[in-house]
Structure 1
Amino acid sequence: MLNETKVFQAEGITLEVVDSLYNQCPPSEIKVHACTKAQKIIIRNGTVYLTNLMPNNGLGYVELIGFLVELYEASQVYRLPDVEFAYWHDDNAPGESERTADGKWKWPFAPHGLPPLLAWSKAAVHGAVLVPYCGAFRCPRDSFDAIMGEVHNLSFTPFSQRSEVAFGRWNIFCAWYYRGALKTADGQPAPCPRAHYDELHHKYPQLLLTAAMGRNTSDGTLAHGVPLHSQHKHKYLVSTDGWSISSKFDKYLLLGSAILKAEGLTYGWYYPALRPYEHYLPIMSKHKDDILEVLEWAKAHEAEAEAVGQRAQTFAMRNLNRPMRLCYIFRLLTELSKYMKYTPDCSRRAQCVPLVEEIKFLAKHDHHAHKCRYQEVLAQYGYDDPDGKPGFSGYEELKRKHEEIPAHAGFG
């Protein structure tokens, strides 16, 4: 995925195009422009600074918090290069950074080039550069990091003793590309898998337990959430995308079950390294009901299906662990820095808040203190970080600054 930085090869990253991220949002824009919703960041002499703060109604999204915490940890493990960029924490990368019909990239707010926009999910048409979905990897109780610590316990349920009913659980909402943009191999538009597999569950309850949350299952009970720590009891796990990539897919890779993954157009930072039939079994691929054929094959070839789950688990533990994610962030920012046509400096921006201070602020905030494991980094680095203020001395100042920013309709 580091190759995606080549979108900057032609023009480089100029001050002019980065300044466009700070310009007042065009009132005619239907989509929320990155000048409002993106978190802008400068790294200078190894220190990470936030050059804008979110309004209160844009504060607290785990997609943003997780990235800030992981970026701060990366800055303490590695000497990060001088670079300026923006992080887009919404489900899909800004639609304005798109490839045109002639193969060029467009960004309508500057005459030349693309700004460096980092995102955790995108389609190939977007010019954003992917980073890990850090919030899902490290913040919740059932985060990737937490489940990785339980792999030993999961192994006590061998594949042969797991249920043969394929399991999936989700809310029913689907990405934009299930409205006709994604077609299966038979040329038909792919239906929303979350809704379609809910219907298939009622037709084939002996094969599928894929009821959407809040709807009745085939036995008349209401479907509810099932902890990820318990889903490994099924041989086959069905993964579907929501508004964008599934935050559960990374975790499913750890469980040792064979994953049946519905095809989609959006992808995450490591997806190109995965191989169908090697790390997962593709569904919603040949036709809308091919999940039934995949399950039939898996049950007739149990050893091969089990091997798919084992390879997925090995891949995840080797490549998606926290040290690898921090290394990836370091390497990505190093690549970005090679295209910088100017030296980033806080003097050009209206505010420049040390990232460590924002993390201390979030760790003390009544509504956000429990949304991530801030102390994992603060206890190691934050309290004697010479680039931040000692203790929580910046809390009241940052609280006031966040409150002074008008709420924006693009959030929440």
Structure 2
Amino acid sequence: VGSASIRPPATAGRRVPQGNSCNFGQGSRACVRLRGHALFRMAVRNAAPAVLGNALTCHVVAGCDVAAHAASGDTAGGQARGQAWKGLILRGWLRGGLPCGGQRCGSMRAGSCQGSRADVPMHGLLNARGQRRRVLVPPPLLLPLLLLTLLLPTAPPRCAAATSPTTRPEPSPQQAAAARGCSAEALLPLYARIDDDLRHWAAHGISEQLMDKALATQTTASGEKAIGVLFESGVPYVVSPLEEIDRLGHHTGLITAHLRFFEALRETFGPSIPDVEFIVGTADQPAIRLDRLENGALPYPLLRFCKSETHADVLVPDIHFQMRAFNATLLQQLDVINSVAWGEKAEELFGRFSQYKRIIHEHIPTLEVHGAGGENICHHANFELLFCDVREHFMKWAHGVRSSGAPVDVARQPRIKMIDHARYKYLLHLDGQTCSSRLEQLLVMNSVVFKEESGYHAFYHHLLKPGEHYVPVWKEGPEDVLEALKWARAHDDEARAMARRAQRFTQNYLHPDALACYWFTLLGRLAQLQRFEPGRGRRAYPVVLMASEYLGSNAGKAYVQKHGLSRMELPRAKRVEQRRA
């Protein structure tokens, strides 16, 4: 070698954090033996590691090219065996990615890589100014050892097939679903909503042109409260602009929460999630009206938590399930909730509400609402939308009937904790701007829920049956409540059974695995309808940003902190493994 310059490896031009270094343990005997030599120090300092995107790849003087995901905290390394040193001396440069018996040594991690924030170009054995480094002459006693390694036969390092991620085939979507319990018969009725929502594209599918128009007109690209998302090889990416996301108010937190959830889906299902492209919106009101489509045009495929039957939006679970830790705060507190005996519950209709105005699209009969005595309680917000004072009107009406002796306590104040709602036998649910996440919380309380029939639906509402899980009210006006109360008080045993069924419903269909499985199943069926191949190398996106990169950015971290998203209840961060016989 002498003082000859060493040619840069093929990774020239990539960027790595300045100051990166690799520290090797006893697992790399050759590295330990030669670590004090200037040639080795220089090789490690210049050739390892390379940080590319979210994947940490550490090319070491070794016969194996090992990669691991930064998200798992792993760093990759390999054993510096004679074959690699041959490559160094004979070819004049460090060769990363040598074959390893036809496999990749994913389990051979010899140390960890650390670095600072500053970026410098990586040019193999060039210094930061682009000048070639000169290799120091090794000590005389070491030269025979190096020459001896050239003469001795060296087999490729063995890869530990038992733990190497590349030797274990990734589970298929069907295997992942089975391992997670997503194919359980109990959840199949929940997926019926998916098939119904996707019926619009069953015949012709979702074309690339339709998806491009949706990304251009229905996302942040046009100021909407929605983002385009790509799953590729199980990894979520944002494919719509986020430059002005801070102008979206609290929807910034909702969008960031969705990205945290998608990252959790990656950890849960991994590459079993098919390559798929979609748009998820966080605005309360649905956007795609079926009665406004012309000439048989297909609707844009938008995912949203609420819609009416006149809208084509595809329903998904409300992100508030995760943001409010529905499972931990309610489903896992059933002992506390059920400690209030049925006979000890207050026999009055109870409700506490903020004064959100209902948003409805005009000329949709199923959404029309009238006040007591047929009073008009709606006014135009714009040429298409109406604002309706549903909650405010009911609270005023309730105040009047309560003063006349009716057992109705519905107001804004005083507020109580959700878990304390279990003290009341009858609970009122009124939707907010559209669907309210309050409904699923009330269903857990082991009390009779009086549910307004607003015409809006969430992803699980098709399984909720009036008279079985809740008492329907406000079909004509708020006066319906008085007749419903008379029935419930006269049929106490039936009311108690209804309360139990409602609570069991939440246990069966609204637990964390059910929510994750709903998303996983939806993405799989949505992917089957797409008549194009999603992916960074196959599609032209205005933006391609890994969700993890956004969440790890200063802005992403700030939004997580501002909206309390570190406390989100996410699917278990455990990759689904293929079941072995």
Corresponding position of 1:207: 407
Residue 565 of structure 2: SS of its match in structure 1? coil
Measure, in 1, the Cα distance between the counterparts of 2:567 and 2:483.
45
Corresponding position of 2:342: 159
Aligned pair in 2 of structure 1 residues 159, 69: CA closer, same or farther (>3 Å)?
farther
Gaps of 5+ in 2: 1-192, 378-388, 576-581
Q: CA deviation at 1:60?
A: 5.0
Aligned pair in 2 of structure 1 residues 273, 160: CA closer, same or farther (>3 Å)?
same
Contact 1:236 1:257 in 2 (8 A): yes
Measure, in 2, the Cα distance between the counterparts of 1:127 and 1:317.
28
Corresponding position of 1:255: 445
Measure, in 2, the Cα distance between the counterparts of 1:276 and 1:336.
30
Counterpart code for 1:128: D
Corresponding position of 2:93: none
Corresponding position of 2:464: 274
Counterpart code for 2:312: G
2:321 aligned residue (123, 126, 137):
137
Corresponding position of 1:388: none
Residue 340 (1) aligns with residue 525 (2) = no
Aligned pair in 2 of structure 1 residues 316, 295: CA closer, same or farther (>3 Å)?
same
Q: CA deviation at 1:25?
A: 8.0
1:160-215 CA distances to partner (integer Å, 9 max, x unpaired)?
Answer: 1011121111122332349885258x99578544123212322232411101x2xx
Q: CA deviation at 1:343?
A: 0.4
Residue 237 of structure 1: SS of its match in structure 2? strand
Measure, in 2, the Cα distance between the counterparts of 1:375 and 1:301.
40
Residue 355 (1) aligns with residue 547 (2) = yes
Contact 2:218 2:226 in 1 (8 A): no
Measure, in 1, the Cα distance between the counterparts of 2:245 and 2:568.
24
Corresponding position of 2:415: 225
Corresponding position of 1:51: 239
Aligned pair in 2 of structure 1 residues 65, 256: CA closer, same or farther (>3 Å)?
farther
Residue 149 of structure 1: SS of its match in structure 2? helix
Residue 98 (1) aligns with residue 289 (2) = yes
1:295 aligned residue (475, 485, 490):
485
Q: CA deviation at 1:117?
A: 0.7
Aligned pair in 2 of structure 1 residues 207, 193: CA closer, same or farther (>3 Å)?
farther
Q: CA deviation at 1:37?
A: 2.4
Q: CA deviation at 1:337?
A: 0.8
Residue 237 of structure 2: SS of its match in structure 1? strand
Q: CA deviation at 1:45?
A: 1.5
Counterpart code for 1:133: D
2:454 aligned residue (250, 255, 264):
264
Contact 1:167 1:234 in 2 (8 A): yes
Counterpart code for 2:231: I
Measure, in 2, the Cα distance between the counterparts of 1:178 and 1:235.
34
Gaps of 5+ in 1: 27-31, 214-222, 383-412
1:119-158 CA distances to partner (integer Å, 9 max, x unpaired)?
Answer: 0011111111000002x212136x4542112111111101
Aligned pair in 2 of structure 1 residues 380, 100: CA closer, same or farther (>3 Å)?
closer
Residue 277 of structure 1: SS of its match in structure 2? coil
Q: CA deviation at 1:84?
A: 0.7
Q: Which has the higher contact order (CA 8 A, sep 6+)?
A: 1
Residue 307 (1) aligns with residue 508 (2) = no
Contact 1:235 1:258 in 2 (8 A): yes
Aligned pair in 2 of structure 1 residues 366, 339: CA closer, same or farther (>3 Å)?
closer
Measure, in 2, the Cα distance between the counterparts of 1:39 and 1:5.
19
Paired positions, count: 356
Counterpart code for 2:209: E
Residue 113 (1) aligns with residue 295 (2) = no
Counterpart code for 1:201: A
Aligned pair in 2 of structure 1 residues 321, 5: CA closer, same or farther (>3 Å)?
same
1:348-397 CA distances to partner (integer Å, 9 max, x unpaired)?
Answer: 11322222233344773167355224676599479xxxxxxxxxxxxxxx
Corresponding position of 2:280: 87
Measure, in 2, the Cα distance between the counterparts of 1:378 and 1:193.
35
Contact 2:443 2:503 in 1 (8 A): yes
Residue 38 (1) aligns with residue 226 (2) = yes
Which structure has the larger Rg? 2
What is the identity percentage for the equivalent residue pairs of Structure 1 and Structure 2? 22
Q: TM-score, normalised by structure 2?
A: 0.56
Measure, in 1, the Cα distance between the counterparts of 2:512 and 2:418.
19
Q: CA deviation at 1:246?
A: 1.0
Aligned pair in 2 of structure 1 residues 203, 155: CA closer, same or farther (>3 Å)?
same
Residue 7 (1) aligns with residue 200 (2) = yes
Task: Please report the RMSD computed on the Cα atoms of aligned residues, expressed in angstroms.
Answer: 3.1
Measure, in 1, the Cα distance between the counterparts of 2:474 and 2:561.
38
Measure, in 1, the Cα distance between the counterparts of 2:440 and 2:572.
27
Residue 210 of structure 1: SS of its match in structure 2? strand
Q: CA deviation at 1:33?
A: 8.7
Residue 133 of structure 1: SS of its match in structure 2? coil
Measure, in 1, the Cα distance between the counterparts of 2:203 and 2:373.
36
Aligned pair in 2 of structure 1 residues 123, 187: CA closer, same or farther (>3 Å)?
farther
Measure, in 2, the Cα distance between the counterparts of 1:339 and 1:365.
37
Aligned pair in 2 of structure 1 residues 25, 286: CA closer, same or farther (>3 Å)?
closer
1:47-71 CA distances to partner (integer Å, 9 max, x unpaired)?
Answer: 1111122521226534434433333
Q: CA deviation at 1:288?
A: 3.3
Residue 520 of structure 2: SS of its match in structure 1? helix
Residue 151 of structure 1: SS of its match in structure 2? helix
Q: CA deviation at 1:23?
A: 2.9
Measure, in 2, the Cα distance between the counterparts of 1:273 and 1:344.
33
Contact 2:285 2:359 in 1 (8 A): no
Measure, in 2, the Cα distance between the counterparts of 1:195 and 1:33.
36
Corresponding position of 1:182: 368
Counterpart code for 1:196: H
Measure, in 2, the Cα distance between the counterparts of 1:302 and 1:246.
27
Corresponding position of 1:76: 267
Counterpart code for 1:99: L
Measure, in 2, the Cα distance between the counterparts of 1:42 and 1:146.
32
